[in-house]
Amino acid sequence: MATQASRTAGRLMLSPAVVLLFLWMIVPLAMTIYFSFLRYNLLMPGTEEWAGFDNYHYFFTDPAFWPALVNTLTLVIGVLVITVVGGVALAVLLDQPMWGQGIVRILVIAPFLVMPSVSALVWKNMLMNPVNGLFAAMARGLGLPPYDFFADAPLASIILIVAWQWLPFATLILLTAMQSLDQEQMEAAEMDGAGVFWRFWHLTIPHLMRAITVVVLIQTIFLLSVFAEILVTTNGGPGTASTTLTFLVYVQSMLQFDVGLGSAGGIVAVILANIVAIFLMRMIGKNLET
């Protein structure tokens, strides 16, 4: 359908975005790859020298590496499960007729609008603090010992905070999808005597699959780089219990100021993120076919 002229015009219009993104990707990437082969510590200028694969070797043998890898996956998958399941449930609920639906939507959307650092600070201090936090006060009111969230369940606490931030996003996308559900088909199924769960499983869920795919894809991209929440709450600890790959790279490049090592970590993180992405596309990409 497209003529040669419009094809050329299309290329022209596409090129600024592509060129800019390509530069944004390749320049830092090239610098990072270069740094990753150097012995390069910002605090000790003048000692830069070629290091070969030393930095990579060192990064992979870091005792925190494997825990960080596992924590990263746990965090991403945990948040995805909570937000997708919770999002579907909320979307189905909010799609029902009720009074004040607009206000409920406003309440539900709110966490998505809060800066990550603010929400981490609020959860850490005002809610989860085992002495002065509200949860501790509630526990005391019930005669229970307060629960020390960040010491006893650091990763789970972070998952909870991040899931709280992303639940609105999932809910809203799924709710929009719900609203285009074919009501006549639903009613026909109901006439045929299909139960609520049958209808949910065989009509609602398939209809939502595309939306769920989008939620998973977009959230994964953002979740792989979750960082502020960890820095503010647990600082990766206790031990390495809540250190993710991103956080490990942070420790190396911003605490040790070991740019060489941090760069190697960054490259490893990019490769792993892309493996996750490819895996994801294989698994759910077919839902995205247009």
Partner 1 sequence: MTVTIRTLVGASLVLALTGAASAETTITVATVNNGDMIRMQRLMPDFNAKHPDIKVNWVTLEENVLRQRVTTDIASKGGQYDVLTIGNYEVPIWAKQNWLLPLDNLGADYNQADLMPQVATALTVDGKLYAAPFYAESSMLMYRTDLFEKAGLKMPENPDWDFILQAASKITDKAAGVYGICLRGKAGWGENMAFLSAMNNTMGGAWFDKGWKAQFDGPEWKKTLSTYLELMNKYGPPGASSNGFNENLALFQTGKCGMWIDATVAASFISDPKESKVADKVGFAPTPTRAGGSNHGNWLWSWNLAIPASSKKADAAKTFVAWATSPDYLKLVAEKDGIANVPPGTRVSLYQNPEYLKVAPFAKMTLTAIQSANTAHPSEKEVPYTGGQFVAIPEFQAIGTAVGQQFSAALAGKATADQALAAAQALTTREMTRAGYPK
Partner 2 sequence: MAREATKGRKAVTTLVAWGIGLVIFFPILWTVLTSFKTEVEAVNPHPSFLFFDWTFENYRTVNERSDYFVHFANSSAIALGSTLLGLIIAIPAAWSMAFVPGKRTKDLLMWMLSTKMMPAVGVLVPIYMLARDSGLLDTRTGLIIVLTLVNLPIIVWMLYTYFKEIPGEILEAARMDGATLSSEILYVLTPMAVPGIASTLLLNIILAWNESFWTLNLTAANAAPLTAFIASYSSPEGLFYAKLSAASTMAIAPILILGWFSQKQLVRGLTFGAVK
Q: Which does 255 bind (CB under 5 to 8 A by kind): partner 1, partner 2, none?
A: partner 1
**To the nearest whole angstrom, how small is the minimum distance from the Cβ of residue 106 to partner 1?**
26
User: How remote is the C-alpha of 148 from its chain's centroid?
Assistant: 24
Which is nearest to 269 in space by CA: 76, 117, 107, 139? 76
- Residue closer to partner 2, measured from CB, 155 or 211: 211
Radius of gyration for the alpha carbons in the chain, expressed in angstroms and rounded? 24
| Of positions 16, 45, 97, 143, contacts partner 1 by CB under 8 A | 45
Which is nearest to 180 in space by CA: 204, 216, 214? 204
CA 226 – CA 237 distance, rounded (Å) = 15
| Of positions 58, 200, 222, 227, contacts partner 1 by CB under 8 A | 58
**To the nearest whole angstrom, how small is the minimum distance from the Cβ of residue 52 to partner 2?**
20
75 burial via Cβ count (<10 Å: 0-12, 13-18, 19+): buried
Q: Which does 240 bind (CB under 5 to 8 A by kind): partner 2, partner 1, none?
A: partner 1
| Of positions 44, 107, 205, 275, contacts partner 1 by CB under 8 A | 44
**To the nearest whole angstrom, how small is the minimum distance from the Cβ of residue 63 to partner 1?**
6
CA 250 – CA 265 distance, rounded (Å) = 9
CA 287 – CA 245 distance, rounded (Å) = 29
CA 263 – CA 240 distance, rounded (Å) = 20
Judged by CB under 8 A, the chain residues 113 through 172 that form the site for partner 1 are 129-132, 136, 145-146, 148, 150-152
Residue 115 phi/psi, 5-degree rounding, is -60, 140
Stretch that binds partner 1, among 67-75, 100-108, 237-245, 275-283 (CB under 8 A): 237-245
- Residue closer to partner 2, measured from CB, 29 or 283: 29
**To the nearest whole angstrom, how small is the minimum distance from the Cβ of residue 220 to partner 2?**
9
The contact set with partner 1 (CB under 8 A) reads: 41-45, 58, 63, 129-132, 136, 145-146, 148, 150-152, 234-241, 251-252, 254-258
